[in-house]
Amino acid sequence: MNKNLLIYAIAAVAATGGLLFGYDTGVINVALPSLKVKFHLENSPDVVGWIVSAVLAGGMVGPFISGPLTDLLGRKKINIIAAIIFVIGSALTAIAPTVAFLIVGRLCLGLAIGIVASTVPLYIAEIAPSNKRGQLVTFFQFAITLGILLSYVVGYALGDDPDGWRSMFWAGFVPAAVLLVGMFFVPESPRWLISKGRDAEALAVLQRLREPQQAQEELNQTKYLIENEGQEKGNWGEFFSKRLRIPLFIGVGIFFIQQFSGINAIIYYSTDIFKTTFDSTKTAALATVGVGAVNALSTMVAIFFLDRLGRKPLLYTGLIGTALSLATVGLGFLFRDSLGPEMQKIMLIGGVYTYIFFFAISLGPLGWLLISEVYPLKIRGFASSMGSFNHWFFDFWVAFTFPLMQASALGSNGGIFFVYMSVVLGGLLFAKYIVFETKGLTLEQIEARWEKSNDK
């Protein structure tokens, strides 16, 4: 097979993990109405809260499994383990006879999502040639958005069926099985093999993916870096060391801004938000499908531009665009009485859709891309797992606080959206002073930046 095609095929198989991420987080938005009827949850917001956030709680635990195991067992095996957990979780949720059973199934799914979220982008970054790394890692984000869209479409189609939620959960079983089978056929990451001293196997993989001379060069560069690494400090010691301060700030900062920009207030609760101005739930659900479609299509724009324009120009554009969009939605709520219902509807829909566009070309892909490329090889698996933990931790708080804020004055006067907007504006400082351009650099060139420091 042509080398380029092979790399795309490998990235696509691994990105199925992203599809599951998107599907299993998005599906709850559309499964909840029938779940509420089935389990009589109309007056039990706490139980509903648990059903929604079990995935996020599992997501927080997953990185603690993948953290030590990704560097120890390799990138392939850990994804196989995650795929098995996905298969089990999908089946458990689909057959759930009780709420407790359902919550356990959702916890399993979260665990698997928490694992793939840290290991898949990393795996793709390590097999990708540097000039295509942005694009290929963004396959993961694209798959997340496809998963979300798929869940909205399936939900829209099955929404009226009281047992529809079972089919919605079964549908997640299919990509889980694809990931499980597919992962057996992809090669192990050459960089991980080198880190374990398995040079001959690494070279064999590199020769399948690169031109012969480039394969040898990559092997040499990676070996050189490993041989020149500082004294052993262990994962945590390295992670918090002074020389890795910038990667640490990037891993925390990018997910703080990504999540507190309010993305999942929209991804999880858009139907509720739209219901504030649309009369029918069906129309609000259709508008939600629109959110999913804009999200997926706009991510394709990011795939095209990330390696051409670079990460920082997209980040600036995205931050300014999301801030303006959030302001539009907020102002629509704040002045709803003087604007009238039609104008407010336009500002809400227009603001949310443009917000999704700007998020999808910047904060969406960049979170996963940056954590896959800024850490040194020795702790890359561990560190990107910790990055993924930050994501789920912040995600949990946004998902948990949004309904509370919505029910308070901040909901009716649009204040929530101004809170999210302030975070995004703060993100401009983060983009200017912390993020550095990684376009076109090899992972080894990025790593060499950290080697220059004396504090090892």
Binding site for ligand BGC (CB under 6 A): 25, 141, 144-145, 148, 263-264, 267, 295, 364, 367, 391, 395
CB of 16 to ligand BGC, least distance (A): 16
- Closest CB to ligand BGC among 141 and 270? 141
**308 in Cβ contact with 132 (< 8 Å):** no
CB of 171 to ligand BGC, least distance (A): 18
User: Rounded distance, CA 171 to CA 23, Å?
Assistant: 9
- Closest CB to ligand BGC among 192 and 256? 256
Residue 261 DSSP SS3: coil
CB of 25 to ligand BGC, least distance (A): 6
- Pick the closest to residue 113 from 166, 176, 167 (CA basis): 176
CB of 175 to ligand BGC, least distance (A): 16
185-189 own/partner pairs: CB under 8 Å, 24+ apart:
185/13, 186/10, 186/13, 186/14, 186/76, 187/10, 187/76, 187/127, 188/74, 188/75, 188/76, 189/74, 189/75, 189/76, 189/122, 189/123, 189/126, 189/127
CB of 394 to ligand BGC, least distance (A): 9
- Name the residue number minimizing CB distance to ligand BGC: 364
What does the DSSP assignment read for 28-43?
Answer: HHHHHHHHHHHTT-TT
CB of 438 to ligand BGC, least distance (A): 17
- Closest CB to ligand BGC among 32 and 334? 32
User: Rounded distance, CA 256 to CA 371, Å?
Assistant: 13
- Closest CB to ligand BGC among 364 and 414? 364
Q: Which residues fall within 8 angstroms of residue 100, CB to CB, at 6 or more apart?
A: none
- Closest CB to ligand BGC among 148 and 370? 148
- Closest CB to ligand BGC among 152 and 192? 152
